[in-house]
Amino acid sequence: MTTYFVDFENVCDAGLLGIDNLAFGDEVYIFYSKNARKISIESYKKIVASSAFIHFVEVKVGSTNSLDVQLATFVGNKYKERTNGNDVFCIVARDRIYEYVISFWQNKGIPIFQKKNML
């Protein structure tokens, strides 16, 4: 199972490419804020067609990197909830700030990586 954490402010619709090809059991958390809350009809259709479990997470913003910090905190919480040692995490974003989050978790043996979309 792969869990995707999407920084929608950062990648917008382009980050959802491939969501309709995900497997049953995969999970997607789409983090959005007042700065990015519009989604195209085409992306919506792909979300509906997806076999993955889709969750929308509205975050509060007010300072630089507000969404990034909340997403990173959420990743840590999901790690604690993991039930399968084979779970893989993927942050969908173009921000380089996530390199530090990924490095932190990889050093703890967690399979986590970053992509610009879900292809």
Q: Residue 82: what pLDDT?
A: 76
Q: Give just the sign of the alpha carbon dihedral 38, 95, 5, 19.
A: positive
86 by Cβ neighbours in 10 Å (0-12 / 13-18 / 19+) ranks as: exposed
Cα separation, 84 vs 93, in Å, equals 25
CATH of the domain at 43: 3.40.50
Q: 66: domain range?
A: 2-115
pLDDT in tens, 91-115: 999 999 999 999 999 998 889 999 9
The number of distinct structural domains making up the chain is 1
Q: How confident is the model over 48-77, as pLDDT tens digits?
A: 999 999 999 999 988 888 999 999 999 999
Amino acid at 62: G
pTM to 2 decimal places: 0.94
